[in-house]
Amino acid sequence: MTSGYTIRPGVKADADILVEFTLREAEDAEGVRLDPARVQRGVTAALDDSRLAQYWVATGPGGGIAASISTLKEWSNFHGGYYWWVQSLFVAPDHRGSGLVDLLMDHVARQAAAAGALDLRLYAHRDNERARRVYLRRGFSDAPYVLMRRRL
């Protein structure tokens, strides 16, 4: 099903589409409208410095970007290694159902394993049942943690 798609690292020239995908992901997944300027700053910073986050894009048979995924690393002092977090994942609507989620997740899992990562982790909005079903199908399980935050 994913025939004709290629995954490559995201580059600075991809910034506009990655910003668009991030804005659409937030709206699709959580019904949230993000500030485009802040998203632009976040995506651009990561493309400039891969220590912040790493992007990969899937290009379709026509060469355009069909999907993207990004990860970031979190150091574990408990286990002396990095957890890799899937920070974002978006598949353009006209490419959904083509197996791109599997392709991107497998690619990231291979990259994380090759880098010696401890786990591949992600969080999903509790109301996003579709995403949660996909992640469970991809081998993720509920973790024994509750995500908490303090807004600043």
3-state secondary structure 1-43: CCCCCEEEECCHHHHHHHHHHHHHHHHHHHCCCCCHHHHHHHH
Residue written as token pair 């996909």: 134
Residue written as token pair 């399980």: 141
Q: What residue ranges define each of the domains in the chain, with the CATH number in brackets?
A: 6-137 (3.40.630.30)
Count of CB atoms situated within 10 Å of the CB of 148? 5
pTM of the model: 0.91
For residue 29, the model assigns a pLDDT of 86
Contact between residue 59 and residue 66 where contact means Cβ atoms under 8 Å apart: yes
For residue 99, the model assigns a pLDDT of 93
Block means of pLDDT (10 residues each) for the chain, length 152 residues? 86 98 93 96 97 96 93 97 96 93 96 97 87 90 88 93
H or E segment at 92?
none
For residue 147, the model assigns a pLDDT of 85
For residue 2, the model assigns a pLDDT of 63
In terms of phi and psi (left: phi > 0; alpha: psi -120 to 50; beta: otherwise), the region of 4 is left
Q: CA-to-CA distance for 111 and 17, rounded, in angstroms?
A: 23
For residue 35, the model assigns a pLDDT of 97
For residue 61, the model assigns a pLDDT of 83
